[in-house]
Amino acid sequence: MSVYRNLHNTMWMITHPSKPLNHTEGFKCSDISLRPYQFIPYFNSENVTLECFCITWFYVELFMRTLSAPSFIYLLRDSNFALDILCILPTILGQIYYRFYISEKKDENLLTVEETQVFDYLTCFKLFRLFRLTRHAKCLEVFFKILYTNLKDIVMLTILIIFGMFYFGLTQFVLEQIHRDNEIKNIGEALWHGFTVITTIGYSDITEYQFLSYIFAIVGVWYGSISMAIILPSLSQSFNIFQNFKYRRHIFKYKTH
C-alpha cells in the first residue's frame, strides 16, 4: 500500500497546496507518511459531494434493475448486480468503520498502521466501478463506429480548438501582463484559460482587467460555439442513423424468428 499512499499524498499536495496533509479536517496527525491520507478519499469536503453523487446514482440504477428483474434469482445471477454491490459496499463499510470505530476513539493521534490500511483496501475496491462500463459495450461499439465515420470532422474540430486555445489564451496572456494584479500568471494558465473559454466550460472563471482582453474572451466564446455548432450536428446525425439501423435490424431478426 506504500505506492498508493505516496501517490495519494503527492497528488493531494499538488492539487491542494494551501491545505497540507497534517491539517486534514478534524484530525491532528503528526506522522504524515502513515496516518492522515486515509481520511481524504471518504471524508474530505472536496470529495464527499462527488462520492455521494456516484453512490446515489448506483443506488438508483440498482433500484431500477431490481424492479425490472423478473425474479430475485435472475437478479442474483446477473453479473451487473454483483458489480453494483461491489461498487457500493466500499463506501458503506468505510462509513460504518469511521462512524462506529474511528469516531469513538478519544485520542486522535493513536491510529495504528493496521487501522489506516482498512481504508486502503476499501479504496482499492473502487476499481470495480470501471467494470460497470462493460454494460455499455454495444453503445461503445456504435460510438467508435461514429468516430471512425466522422474522423475528418473530429480532426477538424480538434484543430479548431487547439488553434483557438493557443490564439486566444496567449493573446489574453500578453494583454493581461500590463495589469499588476492579473490572474493569468504563466503560459500554462493562459492555455488552460483559452481552452475553457472557447469550449464555454469555464467562461468568466478568470477576471479580465483589460477591456481588450475582455473583448477577446467574448470573441473566443463565439468562436468556440460556432466551431462546435458546425461539427457536432453531423456527429449527432450519424449517431441517429446508426441507432435506426440497429433498431431495424433487431426488429427484422425478431420477425424472422
CA distance 35 to 186: 35
Domains of the chain: 2-135 (no CATH), 150-256 (1.10.287.70)
**Tens place of pLDDT per residue across the chain (257 aa):** 444 444 445 444 444 444 444 434 433 333 333 333 344 444 444 556 666 777 777 778 778 878 877 777 877 777 777 777 777 777 778 777 777 776 666 455 455 666 667 777 777 777 777 777 666 667 777 777 777 888 888 888 889 889 988 888 888 888 877 777 777 778 887 888 888 888 877 655 666 667 787 788 888 888 888 888 888 888 778 777 777 776 676 666 555 55
Looking from the CA of 166 toward its CB, the CA atoms found within 13 Å total 5
Q: Distance between CA atoms of 243 and 33, rounded to whole angstroms?
A: 52
Q: What is the pTM of this model?
A: 0.46
